[in-house]
A and B are shown apart, each in its own frame.
Chain A
Amino acid sequence: MILKVDDIHVYYGQIHAIKGVSFEVREGEIVSLIGANGAGKSTVLKTISGLMHPRSGSISFLGDPIAHTEAYKLVNRGLAQVPEGRRIFLQMTVRENLDMGAYTQKEVSDADIEDVFRRFPRLKEREKQIAGTLSGGEQQMLAMGRAMMSHPKLLMLDEPSMGLAPILVEQIFDIIREFHAAGTTILLVEQNAGKALAVADRAYVLEQGRITLSGTGADLAASDAVKKAYLGG
């Protein structure tokens, strides 16, 4: 078991955003978490990555309890998150963003940089460009490349297809499959339920801070409840 989330409750001050969520991700899986706006998907990811902490409940990553571990300590244990809205460093160059992704490595390996540039040739051409001048799609690619620089065992992606044209969405999902094929376990949060269920081994539906459905990607995609609420009929 790579990740096990057990009955976590997460608050923003008085707001009870996550109300007893439990789920798990096994080695080598792609697991999708889908849900409407405000369901609490990002909050769940932020709680796993250590940017927030649950008021109760537990999280274990590779067997260790991490519910109260600070975010920066989890990176070299093999956890990486591509946050919602990409959050690349806009005032730094493309290359510097990748360097930051490798912050926990002893040194930035040329092979890793080459690997990112091979997957994303558009980034190579823009190596010295300030990241703030990249297009939305390029920024998403940079965010994903940056996350891969730390060689994560578990990669968490928060709405990687947000705001992208359909052709780019295809590309992003292709890249997710590539990362997965290369041995990375993936936890994917998406609004694009159709694509997220198609790519997933298993999936969970989050509604108002609770998990209401779970199953294989195919089962959920075929379920009436999911079709009605998330797949437009």
Chain B
Amino acid sequence: MMDLIANLISGLSLGSIYALIALGYTMVYGIAKMLNFAHGDIIMVGAFAVITTVSMLGFPPALAIAASVVCCVVLGVCVERIAYKPLRKSPPLAVLITAIGVSYFLQSLALLIFGSTQHSFPKVFSVPTLALGALTIRGDMLVTLAVTTAIMVGMSLFIAKSRTGKAMRAVSEDRDAAELMGISVNRTITITFAIGSALAAVAGVFYGTTYGFIGPYTGSMPGIKAFVAAVFGGIGSMPGAMLGGILLGVIENLAKRYISTELSDAIVFAVLIIVLMVKPTGLLGKRVTEKV
């Protein structure tokens, strides 16, 4: 029983990291109408930014995390401006291929700078392991859970209530109508990439802390998992991305512990396929409303 609870908590913690990444994926999809396959690599860049600033420049952890967020936001916005914006009116396939190209570009760049070896991720926060009788929970997992939950609540409020959040929903629903309200679609897309990249940077810190090592290809697996989580929850839906991410982490962890470590990813994908067969729009995905 204790084992199950501990496993569920570490699943929740892993899942909340996926949820942060999935949130960025789904927001960019909903507003820019594209799948940004380079999103996972932003995590890797963010994690390397922490490694570099801590071990080479001697930054204190809080400053390193801030630097990583800034670095990812700048990178995300530049990628959008240089690679995606010129393709705004191109067919989706051209944009998709470009995104894959950006992903390879970032991986190769990291390979060139940091080499193919795994770099150990510095300890940016240390929280003692919590022991409740027979139940022990890693401190960093609790921090991950607490911080990601706070971010997700904050993001939900931002999208629901703020002027910019409403503008993002308006652009996501109808670009031309949004422009006619005085909303700059380009600026809204830039903001979306900035937010998504900031979330990826935070996810990178937690991912690095959880696994301890970072390499040039580190971003691709959580990137794919987060994409799966976003589809699982209903792509374009923010609550869906959060739910999808958390479920994915829990299922993956349970499968690892009780079925098979090697098969865990296959099981995750099998669950996705079953969900999509039953509900093709994902758990919380809306059927696209017909225009009257």
Please list the residues of chain A having a beta carbon within 8 angstroms of any beta carbon in chain B.
49-51, 70-73, 75-76, 80-81, 83, 85-92, 96, 99-101, 103-104, 132, 136, 139, 146, 150
Contact = CB atoms under 8 A, between A and B. Distances in A.
A81 B179 CA distance: 10
Contacts of B180: 49, 51, 71-72, 75, 80-81, 83, 87
Contacts of B169: 89, 91-92, 96
B179 A51 contact: yes
Given A92-B173, A96-B166, A85 B183 contact: no
Interface string B275-292: 000000000001001011
B127 interface: no
Contacts of B170: 89, 92, 100
Nearest to A49: B180
Contact of A90 (B163, B176, B181, B289): B289
Given A51-B176, A89-B177, A103 B182 contact: yes
A133 to B, nearest CB: 10
A23 to B, nearest CB: 21
A205 B292 CA distance: 27
A100 B173 contact: no
A114 to B, nearest CB: 20
A89 B173 contact: yes
B181 A75 contact: yes
Contacts, number: 75
Which of B169, B180, B182, B291 has the most CB atoms of chain A within a 10 A radius of its CB?
B180
A72 B167 CA distance: 12
13 contacts: A72-B185, A73-B182, A75-B181, A81-B180, A87-B177, A87-B180, A89-B177, A91-B173, A96-B169, A100-B167, A100-B181, A150-B181, A150-B182
Contacts of A99: 163, 166
B184 interface: yes
B174 interface: yes
B114 to A, nearest CB: 41
Contacts of A85: 291-292
B291 A91 contact: no
A76 to B, nearest CB: 6
B179 A87 contact: no
Interface string B168-205: 01100110111111111100000000000000000000
Interface in B42-75: none
Contacts of A96: 166, 169
Nearest to B185: A72
Given A51-B176, A51-B180, A103 B163 contact: yes
Contacts of B184: 70, 72
Contact of A72 (B166, B173, B183, B289): B183
A89 B167 contact: no
Given A49-B180, A72-B179, A76-B182, A103 B167 contact: yes
Contacts of A91: 169, 173, 286, 289
Nearest to B180: A81
Contact of B176 (A75, A83, A86, A150): A83
A104 B166 contact: no
For the complex of A and B, list the 9 residue pairs with the smallest distance between their C-beta atoms, beginning with the closest: A75-B182, A104-B182, A71-B179, A87-B177, A103-B181, A100-B181, A72-B184, A103-B182, A72-B179
Contacts of A139: 292
A70 B177 contact: no
Nearest to A92: B169
B235 to A, nearest CB: 15
Interface string B254-292: 000000000000000000000000000000001001011
Among B174, B176, B181, B289, max chain A CB count under 10 A is at: B181
Contacts of B166: 92, 96, 99-100
A65 B177 CA distance: 22
Interface string B139-162: 000000000000000000000000
